[in-house]
Amino acid sequence: MHPAFSVIFLTTLIGAAQGLFLALFSTQLYSEMNILPNVSESNFYGIGAVVALLLLGAGLFSSFFHLGHPERAWRSAARWKTSWLSREVIALPMMMAVVFVYAVMHLGGFDSIAYSNNENINLSSSLFVGMFGVIVTFALFICTAMIYACIKFLQEWSSPLTVVNYILFGMASGFILSTVLTSYFSLTDHTEFLGNWAIVLTIAAFITRSASLYRNSRIKHKSSVQSAIGVRHNTIKQVSQGAMGGSFNTREYFHGKTAAFLKSIKYIFMILVFPIPLLLMFIALDSGNTAIFAAAFVIQYIGLLAERWFFFAQANHPQNIYYQTV
């Protein structure tokens, strides 16, 4: 498939935002359960939510460049009963609304205690808003991933690993980003908590992405030249696609790069997404240097752009069997 950079930025930006929001909620939950120190006096949650909202907005903005008629974008939500894309179009603004309310409650001083008991556990109203936000976050993860995983004839995508990888990549990048904020606010305990989870999530993403790469390398495609043209002869050789130049099919359903280029992108993202950020996270957790946490996030995000490009390019559309010779 031809990778569209608008969709690459959409999926990686909102994935990081979703992971960041989950990190914020996890930190608040652990703090209010007295497992981590309370940070209610700082603006950590509010500013973190604003950063997540900006990432969601940037992802939504980038998606408009993928539309032929952006003024008709609202129509994409009409098929929510059958289309995962329509469900994503509904889930994304819903999450943005929840994150906005979460940010306003913390930054505007509208938060209050909603539940308390004799064990000195005080749960705030914003925590319950966050619980709803967690549900919407995972719904958005599933909707985004299922847009691709539900396409059965693209065998590289049609796997539960597609959904798992979208969730783990988003959570890993978001948790690393959250350590930048906790380190900036000098929240040592929270930085260690989120940093350790970021390492675990990155390792988990490495395992599942490696599994998907291994699976895709062993796929036996169901389509063939014979099935493409409806002729069952054993020795068929295509010498022309029937047209002198390119077409919509050759532009949109094939990346146009060599096998060597595709292989190099795979090695690049495997290095940038996994070992380098992990090494930087270990160094940053030991030194407490905010800049190193930020470098880990930036490098991993660049790697995620390459990973998402490879994800789209690796999918071999069956029509390419017919249009293989230009």
The radius of gyration of the chain from alpha carbons, rounded to an integer in Å, stands at: 22
Per residue in 248-284, pLDDT (tens digit) is: 777 777 887 888 988 999 999 999 999 999 999 999 9
What pLDDT band is residue 244 in, cutting at 50, 70 and 90? low
Q: Residue 7: its pLDDT value, please?
A: 93
What is the pLDDT averaged over residues 68-97? Answer: 84
Task: Please give the structure tokens belonging to residue 248.
Answer: 């919509």
Per residue in 34-57, pLDDT (tens digit) is: 899 888 667 899 999 999 999 999
Please tell me the distance from the alpha carbon of residue 280 to that of residue 234, in angstroms, as a whole number. Answer: 54
Of 202, 205, 191, residue with least CA distance to 39:
191
Per residue in 114-153, pLDDT (tens digit) is: 777 777 788 889 999 999 999 999 999 999 999 999 998 8
Q: pTM for the complete prediction?
A: 0.91
Q: Are 214 and 266 in contact (CB under 8 A)?
A: no
Give CATH for domain 5-321: 1.20.1630.10
User: Is 62's pLDDT higher than 80?
Assistant: yes
User: Residue 151 phi/psi, 5° resolution?
Assistant: -85, 100
Domain boundaries, the chain: 5-321
